[in-house]
Amino acid sequence: MHRMYRPAALFPAFSAAFLLAAAAVPAADWSEQDLATAATLRDRAVAGTNAFDHVSGLVTEVGPRFAGSAGDAAAVRWALNRLGTLGFSNVRSQDVLVPRWVRGTAEVSIVAPYPQPLVAVAIGGSVGTPEEGIEAQVVTVGSLEALSALPANQVSGKIVFIDQRMERTRDASGYGAVVPNRSQGASVAANLGATALVIRSVGTSPDRVAHTGGLSYRTDAPRIPAFAISNPDADLLARQVKSGKPVRLRLRSTARELPPAWSANVIGEIPGSQSPNEVVLLGAHLDSWDVGPGAVDDGAGVAIVMEAARLIAKLDRKPARTIRVVLFANEEFGLSGGREYARLMSEEIPRHVIAFEADLGQGPVWRLQSRVGVEQLPAVAQMLQVLEPLKIEGGDNTASGGADLRPLREAGVPVLDLSLDATNYFDIHHTTNDTLAKIDPKILDQSVAAYAVAAWLASTKQGDFGRASQQTSAGSH
């Protein structure tokens, strides 16, 4: 995922007292049997699921699958086969045109005062350097705001180094706080005359692994090359800067754009027995960054939603509404799949009863947030009661739903956030270390349990969830 996050503390939480009061209201949202089935689903999932097998299959048989690459095409084939093999109905793909970018090689070295090579990646979407590279003095700033405040004569002709460390947080707010360095830094620096941008990785790994992700060039700024260096390399560069001697960097990147290519959203369904035209959408994204196999981002999410739906399909009882698993194309490099889904499905959007996505790692799920009609909050509270044995707490009614779901949310589709614990996620997210070794099957099973419960309850609820409140902006991209 690559969204920005805002601290949950800014919004009123629905308190435990409120939840109990709400649950005490005699609501007919679910039959006792539906609630009992939800609890059974939950307990079965915790006892063990096949989710790990799904993610293992994806990273073993496909691995890196950046939008438009050969791996991306292999992932679409893999997902179609997997959903078919697992017994999903209406398995199909939706063609999605995606932008193409290839990183080539990136080199960042300190040339003075003490020459050393640094571990670096080109930021996704960045332009390459001239063949001979770029060499210039470094100007260091502690934040994007500090950079914006510098006069151009302190920046012109130099390489800007934004040295801001990401904070580790459970709710990913630490990521949102520094990701503008990566997404906007190059254009801010370029407008001050910088020749290139280097940032401290937007990630928490203490290892020598650089964190990629995308940038957006402003149309009014020159396009300059942009790199991220690992945390220990940023430490080293900072120590050399601290020596007081002028620090010079040499940069080289062969990154370049290619013509757009075709990818696809992949869809599979568990048909509803009573209201098959009404949809409960479970999303994840099929693509990954190019630097690693994408086990956690978002192989874990693919596995969670696939397995949650499969467990429901295996029940003796059938969901009333259709449960639709959508594996979105190209979340990472421009959200092409989510946008194309909303465009192609525009007539169906009013029949999307609720949507939620798994795109913040393996879990565990620690919080339930919603964005539903306020009159439906008691139903969310009742859903939470089934989730509480999984150690899931309540949140507020400003859920984002996930980056791929933004167009649906903005069109009024209610969304849930089954918040995945992001404490360690940004050690591996968008890096070469996003491997199967980082996934704990038991944690994945807890997440499957939460998604299965929410999907089952959403599919069997009497009446819908209203429409998503739009009053509070959340999950700004």
In the bound state with a second copy, the residue whose beta carbon lies nearer, of 78 and 217, is 78
* Nearest-angstrom CA–CA distance, 2 and 75: 20
Q: Is 299 in the site for a second copy (CB under 8 A)?
A: no
The residue (of 423 and 435) whose beta carbon lies closer to a second copy is 435
Distances (CA, A) of 34 to 37, 97, 117, 458, 460: 5, 41, 60, 10, 7
Using rule CB under 8 A, residue 432 touches a second copy: yes
In whole angstroms, what is the distance from residue 212 CA to residue 64 CA? Answer: 13
Identified binder of a second copy from the candidate list 59, 75, 229, 448, rule CB under 8 A: 59
Is 208 near a second copy (CB under 8 A)?
yes
CB of 241 to a second copy, least distance (A): 11
d(CA 193, CA 57): 47
Q: Which of 33, 85, 116, 216 is the binder for a second copy (CB under 8 A)?
A: 116
125-164: which residues touch a second copy (CB under 8 A)? none
User: At closest approach, how far in Å is the CB of 40 from a second copy?
Assistant: 33
Tokens representing 45 are: 């999932």
Binds a second copy (CB under 8 A): choice among 22, 55, 119, 198: 119
331 is catalytic: yes
Kindly state whether residue 433 participates in binding a second copy, applying the rule CB under 8 A.
yes
Q: How far is the CB of 205 from a second copy (least distance, A)?
A: 9
CA distance 247 to 110: 7
Which residue is catalytic, options 269, 331, 332, 340?
A: 331
- 10 CB burial (10 A radius; 0-12, 13-18, 19+): exposed
Conformational region of residue 242, where left means phi above 0, alpha means psi within -120 to 50, and beta covers everything else: alpha
Backbone angles phi, psi at 415, to 5 degrees: -135, 155
CA distance 313 to 317: 8
**Residue 137: closest CA among 253, 230, 250:** 250
Closer Cβ to a second copy, 77 or 351, answer by number: 77
| Residue from 107, 235, 348, 393 binding a second copy (CB under 8 A) | 235
Which residue number, 195 or 240, has a Cβ lying nearer to a second copy? Answer: 240
Number of residues that bind a second copy (CB under 8 A): 35
Which residues in 60-89 contact a second copy (CB under 8 A)?
60-64, 70-71, 74
Residue 64 is which amino acid? P
- Minimum Å gap between C-beta 293 and a second copy is 7
The one-character DSSP state at 124 is B
We find the least distance from the C-beta atom of residue 436 to a second copy, in angstroms, to be: 7
Which lies closer to a second copy via its Cβ, residue 61 or residue 410?
61
CA distance 241 to 284: 42
Residue nearer to a second copy on the CB measure, 48 or 206: 206
Q: Which is nearer to a second copy, 135 or 235 (CB)?
A: 235
Single out the segment in contact with a second copy by CB under 8 A; choices: 22-30, 58-66, 123-131, 457-465: 58-66
210 scored as a contact of a second copy (CB under 8 A): no
Tell me which residue of 153, 156, 142 sits closest to 222, measured CA to CA: 156
- Binders of a second copy in range 177-206 (CB under 8 A): 206
- CA 102 to CA 125: how far, in whole Å? 8
Residues ≥6 apart with Cβ < 8 Å to 352:
279, 281, 345, 408, 413
User: Mind telling me the catalytic residues?
Assistant: 331
Q: Give the interface with a second copy as residue ranges (CB under 8 A).
A: 56, 59-64, 70-71, 74, 113-117, 119, 206-209, 231-232, 235-236, 239-240, 243, 292-293, 432-433, 435-438
